[in-house]
Structure 1
């Protein structure tokens, strides 16, 4: 049956439906839905977070952030260098937000023009040699030194403080990383308990005495600690903690560097992280480790 250019169908209840009207309506709804998805993606943009496969770390400290092993290690080093320089907590937030935006917390070999490293610093602008800038400790130190010269940076928004150092073409871009950076800072500065948990598996890049030596050296360089000692009967190190906050600073740093330094186990107070589980759990013999952080590395294969 036809009526003009439209075809008509009968449904069970005897209701007549124009098929072209249905098709047209469906197309309109599809277009509206597509526009809605576009607007959500446009507005949310970089705040969308997809699960990270492989070796990953989850940080929970009044919020949650997920990073891969390389990003986590760099974040921990940036935070430690800030504390070693006696910079306030706010400075660590600004530094992490800057590294998030500039490099995604990855130590990049290149970038825009001659930009290099975590903070995309440029040799041509006096930040240092390419080799120096690729050193995360050097890069973090240079950033903090630049931030310290900015008058009133403590009262600025994160993005304004970062921009005063970086002179980016996108001065507002740093602000979107403020929340993630605050979560990381709370954890890495010891203001949360068992807040950094990394899944690194049983295939470390380094093992045995070499791992213990590298771990001790890195801990000393990042924190300026002279007090790390070897463990009797275990391959690893022990770090004295003046108080719980110090203890969790070192414990979280050790877990953050577990993959690149072959860390098998980290223990502080009555909690222990293991590479096998990738999580923290309670242990019974608390008295043996109350005032120190203990880290064991994987033995030689």
Structure 2
């Protein structure tokens, strides 16, 4: 019988579950819709059903579960602290208690971007790196920090949230603030900025396709997004001397557009240290959050066994 840990990625529209071997190799995975409008019990229930289906497809012994969830979380108590209005009855929900009661194994909770960084640091693009900024460019913009070889989440679980730091113009942000990185570099922002330039209502994916086909307005939107990402990198490098950045999320799938604009901006204004920062696209693709959640569970279970 194979021993596995489960990694769960609860997103706004989809939930992905991966069963991972002790070396974090994904042995099986399943993606299901997230019933975000139905509340926390339904959301965790969908994840639990997916875990059960995966376990039923093979001969595996489940040792523990890691969960990466959207929102601000308390990783120590396993509860959701703050969630967007896309989720019903999610803030305050006790995720790990519900999982442990259903499966009878230890469970651990992380913010989804922290889990993304854990995955990339354990088995992805920045494996072995010790000073890393992670950014996810999706519907919104998330961030996380890996300092001296370990995740740093801060006293309130909000360290690294570069997406909602002001100083990137004056556009209104979905969080109620103004001038945040998210207003330029998120998928939602890319679509909105293109619409402002052209009057056309395209998705971020369609804007990327237009840019690849040579549309100058679409290219300008991606150039602005890349310059904003580079500025966020420079701010972080100046404060914390990070050496490496890993970028994931849906927008990063257009790396051929985004990457060069980031590199051009960094070349024009290098970090104060004088040492270039390596900027890499995510290596684990859609598995990153689930693998990172599994990595957290693996680490915690090792500590329990050693205690």
Shorter-chain TM-score range: under 0.3
Larger helix share, 1 or 2: 1
Normalised to the residue count of structure 2, the TM-score between the two structures is: 0.27
Larger radius of gyration: 1
Q: Relative contact order (C-alpha < 8 Å, sep 6+): which is higher?
A: 2
Normalised to the residue count of structure 1, the TM-score between the two structures is: 0.28
Larger strand share, 1 or 2: 2
